[in-house]
């Protein structure tokens, strides 16, 4: 049997070393000695008030008998440590005063106390805050305001220009000087017609060995009269004119040729017409159809005809559309001759004009300056005709 010196509890297991209540070191229980001096044990909890002073026992009277301890007194136990009620010395009157003294621990084992496990702590759940509404971006509003301000600013600047600045510029701008149209002679058999050069083309300085041709409708009939074009160009004076061109029943306004005696073509140039709307942009959709129709017609008259290219081109400052072809003339007195052709559909450049010019150029391998279809209109004597070609105005 072991006892805890702190709480005075006993434990029957001799192998146990520590108290299960306060952790004190257990010691072996001493046998009860009735003659041992008992000490009053202090209460486990401090008293709320200071203890009263004890009156010392009166001195023994002579002849009085010395009191003996009463071992039959009742032993009382408390929750913290057992105490015994001891007899006090009797006074002169023979009364007995009782003093509480600690009693020895009972021999019966006390049940071992175990601390109950603490319940798990529950963390109070916090209420979930309501979702905050997302703030709408102000960037679209700012951009919209800036665009409105920009549009208003541009409108204000335009208004100031047209209402204030432009009228003042018109006031200080000098008046244009009127110039009289230039009259040029006509070397064709047709009557002379005054021709005014288009403002879009600079004046052509003609070489000394060239002759100017100006178109006229005096002798025209049929489709040529209906689709008359006012134009002019310079051609080399050694070239020969086709007497049928520009006459009733003719298919071309003009036709000139460079020949090798007795009657071999080296280069030739002819001007016809096609239905137009006046500008390249307006005619652009119909150019491929025109190429197809005229190419089929030429294929019937030229042996081994082959179209080699087509696409936009320019004649001076005017935009046009062209196609090129090759052919061969076999069994001539000069042998087999290569034939190269180039056709240009050229609108006048004036919106609303219903007729455009068809420029037809042919060359053969008899022209020493030419070696392929790419040289037609670029080499030989034909370039002077293209460079001097000008549209005039209808009378």
CA angle 316, 322, 323 (to 5 degrees): 145
Residue 139: predicted pLDDT: 81
Going by C-alpha positions, the residue among 337, 322, 316 that lies closest to residue 266 is 337
Which is it for the CA torsion 361, 367, 372, 374, positive or negative? Answer: negative
For residue 270, what are the contacts with CB-CB under 8 A and spacing of at least 6? 242, 245, 252, 254, 255, 256, 359, 360
Residue 342: predicted pLDDT: 97
Which residue stretches of the chain have pLDDT < 50? 37-47, 49, 51, 53-54, 60, 63-111, 113, 115, 121, 123-124, 175-199, 395
Residue 170: predicted pLDDT: 67
pTM of the model: 0.51
Going by C-alpha positions, the residue among 388, 392, 356, 385 that lies closest to residue 257 is 385
Residue 130: predicted pLDDT: 61
Residue 18: predicted pLDDT: 83
Q: Are 343 and 323 in contact (CB under 8 A)?
A: yes
Q: Which two tokens stand for residue 178?
A: 């009127």
Residue 79: predicted pLDDT: 41
């Amino acid at each position: 049997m072991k006892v805890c010196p702190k709480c005075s509890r006993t434990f029957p297991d001799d192998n146990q070393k520590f108290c299960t209540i306060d952790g004190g070191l257990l010691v072996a229980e001493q046998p009860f000695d009735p003659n041992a001096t008992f000490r009053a044990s202090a209460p486990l909890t401090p008293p709320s008030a200071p203890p009263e002073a004890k009156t010392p026992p009166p001195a023994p009277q002579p002849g009085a008998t010395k009191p003996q301890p009463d071992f039959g007194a009742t032993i009382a136990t408390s929750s913290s440590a057992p105490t015994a009620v001891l007899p006090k010395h009797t006074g002169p009157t023979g009364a007995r005063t009782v003093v509480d003294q600690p009693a020895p621990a009972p021999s019966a084992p006390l049940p071992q106390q175990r601390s109950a496990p603490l319940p798990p702590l529950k963390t109070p759940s916090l209420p979930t805050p309501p979702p905050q509404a997302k703030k709408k971006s102000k960037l679209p509003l700012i951009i919209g305001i800036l665009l409105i301000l920009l549009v208003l600013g541009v409108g204000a600047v335009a208004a100031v220009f047209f209402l204030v600045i432009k009228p003042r510029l018109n006031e200080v701008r000098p008046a244009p000087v009127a110039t009289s149209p230039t009259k040029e002679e006509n070397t064709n058999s047709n009557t002379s017609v005054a021709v005014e050069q288009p403002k879009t083309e600079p004046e052509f300085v003609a070489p000394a060995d060239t002759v100017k041709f100006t178109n006229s409708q005096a002798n025209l009939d049929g489709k040529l009269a209906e689709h008359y074009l006012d134009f002019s160009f310079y051609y080399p004076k050694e070239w020969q004119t086709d007497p049928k061109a520009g006459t009733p029943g003719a298919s071309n306004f003009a036709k000139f040729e460079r020949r090798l005696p007795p009657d071999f073509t080296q280069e030739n140039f002819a001007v016809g017409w096609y239905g137009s709307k006046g500008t390249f942009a307006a005619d652009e959709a119909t150019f491929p159809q025109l190429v197809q129709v005229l190419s089929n017609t030429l294929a019937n008259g030229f042996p081994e005809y082959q179209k080699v290219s087509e696409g936009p081109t320019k004649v001076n400052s005017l935009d046009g559309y062209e196609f090129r072809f090759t052919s061969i003339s076999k069994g001539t007195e000069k042998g087999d001759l290569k034939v190269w052709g180039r056709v240009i559909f050229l609108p006048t450049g004036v919106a609303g004009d219903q007729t455009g010019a068809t420029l037809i150029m042919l060359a053969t391998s008899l022209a020493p300056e030419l070696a392929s279809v790419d040289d037609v209109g670029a080499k030989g004597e034909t370039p002077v005709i293209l460079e001097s070609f000008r549209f005039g105005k209808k009378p």
